[in-house]
Structure 1
Amino acid sequence: MVLSRMLRRSHLWIRVAQTGLVAIPFLLAAFAIWSILATGKPDPVERSLTLIIFPAAAVLAVAFQFLLASDRRRLDESRANEVVRLEGASTTDALTQVGNHRGFEGELQREVRRAIRHGYSLSLAILDVDEFNGLNARSGSGHGDRVLARVGGLLSGRRIEDRAFRIGPDDFALLLPYTDAANGALVLDRLRGEAEHTLLGATLSVGVAELSFENAESASLLGQAEAALREARLRGRNMVVRFDEIKSSVSVISPTKVSSVRLLISERKLHISFQPIFDLQRGAVLGFEALSRPAP
């Protein structure tokens, strides 16, 4: 903020100075004309001064204009660099030096749109530092911060087109363009093995999902990767699980479907029927089951 105000003030003073310098030759010319009109005929000294001062002032004004234009360009470049730096800081996690959650949300949507437009594979991995709260409790938050920083370093060392993000206290995301789920799982399993030797005793659980062009939504891709991560935790942690391994037993509801159901409910277009659930041995009603479908 302070730098922005300084730059704005600098630009204001530059404009004032430029206006003044442009006006100098015209003021001198007006003075010379006024002298001629006032005296009727200028003496040789006045004529000489007019012939010398006016061109000199004009050259000086042009030179100063050039210098001020150069200074303005440098200030514009400084301002542009500052804007780029601030934008980068707003989407970068300070501890791990990878993207933050805000950067992740925007980049995930952009990458999904690019993958759909150009028809290439896109995988998303969600990583979790196993038992991170216990690690902090045993070794202190400083040790935990060093572990997180090393995770950021591991993820940053991938291919140039891969992009890493810290999306939670101990959760990370890795976007893998031009990579299907099978190859993505191989990459992440190598990274998981590296983590065993570099994370100061910590390990990683990973869930991987590939963008489906039948349900090409960023939220669905994220939900599938998170479901795979939950399965990795249930299986004992320190492993990589692909969503396509568990998709027959896990349901990830598309946000579009959720919105459609909410719209049907709000517009009262759902027909709901209740049917009893009987205990045949006792001949008693145990409860009721509600069935719903769009109204005809």
Structure 2
Amino acid sequence: MTKSDTQKILVVDDAAINRQVLAELLKADHTVILAKNGEQALALAAQHQPDLMLLDVVMPEINGYDVLRQLKSDPRTAAIAVIFITGLDTPEDEEHGLMLGASDYITKPFNLAVVRARVRCHLQLARQRRMLETLANIDGLTEIANRRHFDDRYATEWARAVRDGHSLSVAILDIDFFKDYNDRAGHAMGDRVLQAVASVLAGGLQRSTDLVARYGGEEFVLLMPGTDAKGAVQLTNHLREAVNKLAMPHSDAADTAHVAVSIGGATLQPDSGEPAADLLKAADDHLYRAKREGRNQVVWRANSVTV
């Protein structure tokens, strides 16, 4: 197993000696990342996406319980398994940590053999869980996110945008004249087109918070949290042009020389009284407008303004 294949553990403790002891215990078999406070822990968790976090509770400014709450509220870090390693040793303390979503609770002074055994157990569970989540959330043909995964993320990002007052942008992309392509070239070639377009879309994303998914048939959907209309239009036009650059012949179809996509999108700053489905409907409406007005273009709605 190469170093890049090893599972990652984030050790968070304000005491340097505890960080050192745990790092020495685990570094031979795992990639160990160290943080000395809650702020560092949250930043490093988002950056490195560790498989497991060993987290102290009593720390200055942001305590371990609050770190766990913030981890669970962020879709990038919500799945990280957390073991509390703390001097708080009452049953009530342990119950509180577990109720917040911790995977385990170890009291100080800790036994190294026990820590090693529990880490091994939870890393195995994390590996199995991620394998199952991947299978459940990935489209088998294109190997990007499927509709189920998009729906889950969309609900999460909509709630976050409502809470934080941020913009949320969505684009729906449709391969132009795909039925004609399938009829002329066959479904095997059609599958290759879907795979190629999906690869271009996934490769064109620049932020870990953005998501591209297969929406159904020849449609794809792009979710861009915290992106305004101008940025969303720039990104989707870049993706549209990247598909054009593939220069995949459209099997002698009379309407277009090569495979292209039409894109409709919308940007809103949601509020709690607005149905989440409205943004998707606006994107879908503008997709059909893009197709009616000539295809291979982006048509966007920013609140009540069409871009």
TM-score w.r.t. length of structure 1 = 0.56
2:120 aligned to 52, 74, 90, which one? 74
1:212–1:67 CA distance, 2 compared to 1 (3 A): closer
Partner of residue 239 from structure 1, selected from 281, 297, 302 = 297
2:163 & 2:281 partners in 1: Cα distance?
22
User: 1:210: which partner in 2?
Assistant: 267
Alignment of 1:175-190 (within 5 A): 175-190=223-238
Aligned partner of 2:206 in structure 1 is: 159
CA gap of 1:122–1:67, structure 2 versus 1, over 3 A, is closer
Q: Which runs of 5+ in 1 are unaligned?
A: 1-65, 249-296
Question: Is this contact kept in 1: 2:170–2:224, CA < 8 A?
Answer: yes
CA apart distance, 1:199: 5.7
CA offset digits 1:45-78 (Å, max 9, x no partner):
xxxxxxxxxxxxxxxxxxxxx9899667535432
TM-aligned CA distance change 1:71 to 1:130, over 3 Å: same
TM alignment of 1:34-183, pairs within 5 A: 74-157=120-203, 158-160=205-207, 161-183=209-231
Q: Cα offset for 1:230?
A: 0.8
Deviations, residues 65-122 of structure 1 (Å, cap 9, x unaligned): x989966753543233111111121011122221100011110110111112122221
C-alpha contact 1:151 1:199 (8 A) present in aligned 2 = no
Identity value in percent: 34
Contact 1:207 1:225 in 2 (8 A): yes
1:163 aligned partner, one-letter code: L
State the Cα RMSD in Å. 2.6
Q: Which residue of 1 aligns with 2:95?
A: none
Give the aligned length. 184
2:278 is aligned, of 208, 220, 223, to 220
Query: In proportion to residue count, which structure has more helix?
Result: 1
SS in structure 1 of the partner of residue 270 of structure 2: coil
- Mapped to 2, the partners of 1:69 and 1:107 lie a distance apart of 34
C-alpha separation in 2, matches of 1:221 and 1:245:
9
Alpha-carbon shift at residue 242 of structure 1 (Å): 1.0
Contact in 1 for aligned 2:171/2:221 (Cα 8 Å): yes
Secondary structure at the counterpart of residue 243 of structure 1: strand
In structure 1, how many angstroms separate the alpha carbons of the residues matched to 2:200 and 2:211? 12
Match for residue 196 of structure 1?
Answer: 244
> Equivalents in 1 of 2:121, 2:195: separation in Å?
35
Structure 1 residues 156-209: Cα deviation after superposition (integer angstroms, max 9, x where no partner) = 121122111101011111011221123211221121111112161210000010
**How far apart, CA to CA, are the structure 2 residues paired with 1:192 and 1:180?**
18
In the alignment, the residues of structure 2 paired with residue 72 and residue 116 of structure 1 have an alpha-carbon distance, to the nearest angstrom, of: 39
Structure 2 residue matching 1:97: 3-state secondary structure: coil
Secondary structure at the residue paired with 1:167?
strand
Quote the offset at 1:245 in angstroms: 9.2
Q: Which residue of 2 aligns with 1:266?
A: none
Q: Do the aligned partners of 2:166 and 2:269 also contact (CA within 8 Å) in 1?
A: no
Q: Would the aligned equivalents of 1:150 and 1:199 in 2 still touch at CA under 8 Å?
A: no
Label 1:150 to 1:216 Cα distance change in 2 as closer, same or farther (>3 A): farther
- The 3 A distance-change label for structure 1 pair 245 and 143 is farther
The residue number in structure 2 matching 1:255 is: none
Residue in 2 aligned with 1:291? Answer: none
Q: Is the 8 A contact 1:116 1:216 kept in 2?
A: no
Q: What is the distance in 2 between the residues matched to 1:232 and 1:246?
A: 17
